[in-house]
Amino acid sequence: MATINILDKKVYNRIAAGEVVERPYSVVKELVENALDAGATKIVVDIYAAGKELVQVKDNGCGIEKSELKKAFLPHATSKIKEAEDLENIITLGFRGEAIPSIAAVSNMIIVSKAKGSDKGYCVRAKDGEVSEPEEFACDEGTCVSVESLFFNTPARAKFLKEDKSEEADIQNIMTRLILAKPEIAFTLNLDGQTILQSYGGGLSENAIEIYGYDTVKNCIDFTVEKNGMRISGLIGKADFTKPNRTYQTVILNGRYVINNTIQSAIHNAYAPFLMKRRYPFYVLFIDVDPEFVDVNVHPNKTDVRFVDNQVVYGTVYSVISKRLNDFSEPPVVERNENQKNEEFSFLNKNVVGESEAKEASAYQERAFSSPQKHENDFSDIAGKARSLTLSDVKREKEKGGIGWLDDAKNSAFTLQSAGDDENEKPTEIVDIFAENKKYIEELERKKAIEEETKKAKQESMEVNGGYRIVGQVLTTYIILEKEGDVYLIDQHAAHERLLFNRLMKDFKEGGVAKQTMLIPYDLRVNETESRFLSGKIKILEKMGFEIGISNDGLFKVYSVPYLFEDFDVKEFFDDVLSDLGLKKLDVPETVYDKLAQKACKAAIKSGKNLSESEIESLLKDINYDLSLKCPHGRPISVKITRTEIDKWFKRIV
Ligand code: ADP
Ligand code: MG
C-alpha cells in the first residue's frame, strides 16, 4: 500500500497559496483586508510592474506586537477567531489565517510593524517560506507588508499571469470595490509611483463620485431600508440609467465585497422590466444582516457567501429594489444641457436632449430628437402646441366674454330701450325688440349652461384620466397629453406594445395559453444537477403550457409546448432555462420574454397610423395612464416636457 505522507508546512502552504493567491489582485485584496481588520483609517497601496515586482500595503492600524510577528506566518494562525463557534459569528474580513503564510510561500515577504502604544517597530523577512527573527526597525504605528517577486518559485503559476495592463486593471477593480465598501476609510492606489485611485473617507456618495463621476451619481437613488431583519442601503441607478456591462455592480455584505447569485439575480430581476437588451444596472448595494444568518466560509477567497435562507434574501432585495425603481420611475424629461441653457436662442439647430446620459438612455429619444431636421419638426410641433395653448387661453378669455356678450346684449337692449323712448319710435316696436333681445339672452344662457355642463363632464373625465388632458396625435406617431402644466409625448407603438406584452405575459404566467402537441416528443437529455433543477420546475412549466415526462437517466420528454409561439425552438428554450440554473428563479426565461416581446411588437399599432380620439382614449385607459412604463425592450413609452422648459424656449423665463 502507498505510504501516506504528512506534508511539510512549506508544501502545504504552497498548496493553500494556489487557492488564496490566484493573482496579484488577490494579494492586494488579502493585505488590504488585513489592514481593515486592524482598524486602519488610512491605507496606501503601492504596485510595481503590475504587482509582479512589488505589492506593498501600508496602514495605520493596530500593528503587530513583536512576539506575534513570526506567528502570523504560521498556517492557520489568526487573531480573529479562536473556537469553532466563532465561525458562526464572523465580523472581520479575515478569519482563516491563510493569507500571510500562503503569500509568503510564493514570494519574498517583508512585514514592518509597530503596535499601537509600543515604542519600537520591528521587521521580519520571509524568503521561500523561511522567516527571520524580528529586527528593530524605525517606523510609524501600523503595519507595512511588502510582497516582492510574486510567484518567483512557482514558474508554472507565473506563466499564467496576464499582461501588465490586464493585471493592473484587476487590481484597480478590486481596489474600487474595497473603496466603495469602506466609505469612511482613506485609500490610495499607486501604480508604478503614480496615483490612480484616491479616496478621503468622506462617505459613499463622495467615493462614488470619485470613482464613477458626478454624472453617474446624480442618476442614482440613494436609500436605506430595513426589512425582514436586513438593512439594505446604497446607491442604485435609476431605471433608465444603465451600463453596457456588469463592472458597475457592487454588493457589500456585512462590509465585505461579495459576488453572490441570490443577491445579483434579485437585483437583476427587479430591473428586468426596465432593461434594454445587453444593458446592465448600476449599483453599489450594502446589505447588512446578523452574521449568524450568513456563512462566509464558503470559498478560500471569501468572495461568495451562503445564506441560511436564500428565499428571504432574494424576496427582500427584489422587493426593496423594485419599490425604489417604481417610485423613481418617471417619463424622461426633455431638458437642454447647461451649455445650451447659457446660449442664445439658437436651439433650433441643436439637440434638445442635452444630457450626456440621455445618449445612452434611450433609442427612442435619439430617434425623436437627434437629427436637427427631425428635431425642428418636433420642435415646431411643440411650439405649435404651445401656441395653441396660448390660443386656448385666449378662447377661454372669450368664453368669459360670453358674459361680456351678455352685457353687450343688455346694453344694446338698453340702447334700444332708450331709443324706444325716442318719441319717433312706436311703442309696439319697442316691446317687440325687447322680446327679441330676451330670446337672444335666453339662448345665450342656454348655451352657457351647456358649455358649463360639458366643462364639468370634461373635468370629471379628467379625474378619471388621472388628470391628463388628451391634446391629440401628431406626426401620426405620438400622442400628446397635458397635465398640471407639463406636456407628455407618447410613442403610440411603444405604449401599445407594452400593453399587448403585459397581456401575453399574464396569459403565459397564469397558464392561459393553449398547448400544442409535438408531432414527435422532444428528448431532452440533462445531467444530474440540471435534472434536479428541472424536476423542481415541472409544475411551473406545465402551467406555462408544457407537457413534460421524466424518465430515468436524466431523460425528459417534451410532449407539448405553449401554443403562443408558432416557431417554438424547444432546444433553444431549454438551453436558456438551464443556463439560468441556480441563478434566476424560473420566472420567465429570456427566450420566452423575447418571443413575447416580438409578438407584441408585431401586433402593436405602428407609427404612421391615424388614431381617433376614442382610440387614443382607450389605449391610454388600457395602460392605466401609467406613462412611466417602458416598452418590452426597455425604451420609454413617453417623454415629459415641462412648462418651465417650454417657457424657457420662448424666453418667457430664463
Ligand atoms: P487572517 O486575516 O485570516 O487572520 P492572515 O494570514 O491574513 O489571516 O493574517 C494573520 C494574522 O496576522 C492576522 O490574524 C493578524 O493578527 C495579523 N495581521 C496581518 N496583517 C496585519 C495588519 N496589517 N495589521 C495588524 N495585524 C495584521
Ligand atoms: Mg487576512
**25 pLDDT above the threshold of 90:** yes
At residue 396, the pLDDT reads 43
Query: Quick one: 91 and 175 in the same domain?
Result: yes
> Does ligand 1 lie within 6 Å of residue 99's CB atom?
yes
* Per-residue pLDDT reduced to its tens digit, 117-153: 999 999 999 987 789 999 999 999 999 999 999 998 8
* Per-residue pLDDT reduced to its tens digit, 8-19: 777 777 776 667
Q: How far apart are CA 240 and CA 359, in angstroms?
A: 11
Q: What is the mean pLDDT of residues 45-74?
A: 95
Instruction: Output the CA 27–ligand 1 centroid distance in Å.
Output: 13
Q: Do 528 and 568 form a contact (C-beta atoms < 8 A)?
A: no
> Does ligand 1 lie within 6 Å of residue 109's CB atom?
no
Q: What is the mean pLDDT of residues 532-552?
A: 82
At residue 345, the pLDDT reads 30
Q: Which ligand is nearest to the CA of 82?
A: 1
Domain assignment present for residue 589? The answer is no
At residue 458, the pLDDT reads 64
Domain assignment present for residue 396? The answer is yes
Confidence band, pLDDT 50/70/90 cuts, at residue 431: very low
The residue type of 303 is T
Helix/strand/coil (H/E/C) assignment for every residue in 1-21: CCCCCCCCHHHHHHHHHHHHC
Q: How far apart are CA 99 and CA 73, in angstroms?
A: 9
Quickly tell me which residue has 330676451 as its cell.
438
**Pick the residue with more confidence: 337 or 156?**
156
Whichever domain contains 254, its CATH number is 3.30.230.10
Q: What is the mean pLDDT of residues 596-619?
A: 88
> Does ligand 1 lie within 6 Å of residue 143's CB atom?
yes
**What range does the domain containing 399 cover?**
369-445
Query: Quick one: 189 and 63 in the same domain?
Result: yes
> Does ligand 1 lie within 6 Å of residue 98's CB atom?
yes
Instruction: Output the CA 118–ligand 1 centroid distance in Å.
Output: 18
Query: Quick one: 250 and 173 in the same domain?
Result: no
61 CA closest ligand 1 atom index: 24
At residue 56, the pLDDT reads 98
> Does ligand 1 lie within 6 Å of residue 95's CB atom?
yes
Domain assignment present for residue 60? The answer is yes
Instruction: Output the CA 173–ligand 1 centroid distance in Å.
Output: 23
Instruction: Output the CA 649–ligand 2 centroid distance in Å.
Output: 60
At residue 485, the pLDDT reads 83
Q: What is the mean pLDDT of residues 487-509?
A: 89
Q: How far apart are CA 236 and CA 217, in angstroms?
A: 9
Instruction: Output the CA 489–ligand 2 centroid distance in Å.
Output: 56
Instruction: Output the CA 79–ligand 1 centroid distance in Å.
Output: 7
For the record, the C-alpha cell of 548 comes out as 413534460
At residue 435, the pLDDT reads 59
**Which of 83-87, 371-375, 430-434 is most confident?**
83-87
Q: How far apart are CA 285 and CA 400, in angstroms?
A: 57
Query: Quick one: 435 and 306 in the same domain?
Result: no
* Per-residue pLDDT reduced to its tens digit, 195-239: 999 999 999 999 998 888 888 898 999 999 998 889 999 999 998
How many percent of the chain have pLDDT more than 70? Answer: 78
Q: How far apart are CA 148 and CA 56, in angstroms?
A: 8
Domain assignment present for residue 647? The answer is no
Domain assignment present for residue 451? The answer is no
Query: Quick one: 66 and 121 in the same domain?
Result: yes
Instruction: Output the CA 78–ligand 1 centroid distance in Å.
Output: 6
Domain assignment present for residue 617? The answer is no
CA atoms within 13 A on the CB side of 207: 23
Which of 250-259, 378-387, 429-438 comes out lowest in average pLDDT? 378-387
Confidence band, pLDDT 50/70/90 cuts, at residue 392: very low
Taking CA 292 as the corner, what is the angle to CA 288 and CA 297, rounded to the nearest 5 degrees?
Answer: 90
> Does ligand 1 lie within 6 Å of residue 72's CB atom?
yes
Q: Which residues of 34-61 are buried (b: 16+ CB within 10 A; e: fewer)?
A: bbbbbebebbbbbbeebbbebbbbbbbb
313, 328, 343 - which closes a domain: 328
Number of domains in the chain: 3
Q: What is the mean pLDDT of residues 335-354?
A: 37
394, 410, 445 - which closes a domain: 445
- Which residue, 241, 318, 250, is CA-closest to 280? 241
Confidence band, pLDDT 50/70/90 cuts, at residue 538: confident
**Pick the residue with more confidence: 483 or 300?**
483
> Does ligand 1 lie within 6 Å of residue 355's CB atom?
no
Query: Quick one: 281 and 161 in the same domain?
Result: no
Q: How far apart are CA 256 and CA 304, in angstroms?
A: 10
Q: Which ligand is nearest to the CA of 38?
A: 1
Query: Quick one: 172 and 227 in the same domain?
Result: no
**313 pLDDT above the threshold of 80:** yes
Whichever domain contains 142, its CATH number is 3.30.565.10
At residue 464, the pLDDT reads 62
Query: Quick one: 286 and 379 in the same domain?
Result: no
> Does ligand 1 lie within 6 Å of residue 38's CB atom?
yes
At residue 581, the pLDDT reads 60
Q: How far apart are CA 604 and CA 477, in angstroms?
A: 12
Q: What is the mean pLDDT of residues 357-385?
A: 31
Domain assignment present for residue 651? The answer is no
Domain assignment present for residue 347? The answer is no
Query: Quick one: 94 and 181 in the same domain?
Result: yes
At residue 5, the pLDDT reads 77
380, 413, 445 - which closes a domain: 445
What mean pLDDT value characterizes the chain?
Answer: 78
Instruction: Output the CA 38–ligand 2 centroid distance in Å.
Output: 10
Q: What is the mean pLDDT of residues 312-332?
A: 85
Q: Which ligand is nearest to the CA of 96?
A: 1
> Does ligand 1 lie within 6 Å of residue 77's CB atom?
yes
* Per-residue pLDDT reduced to its tens digit, 578-592: 765 654 555 666 677
Query: Quick one: 293 and 398 in the same domain?
Result: no
Q: Which ligand is nearest to the CA of 63?
A: 1
Query: Quick one: 35 and 135 in the same domain?
Result: yes
Query: Quick one: 169 and 36 in the same domain?
Result: yes
> Does ligand 1 lie within 6 Å of residue 97's CB atom?
yes
Nearest CA to ligand 1 atom 8: 97
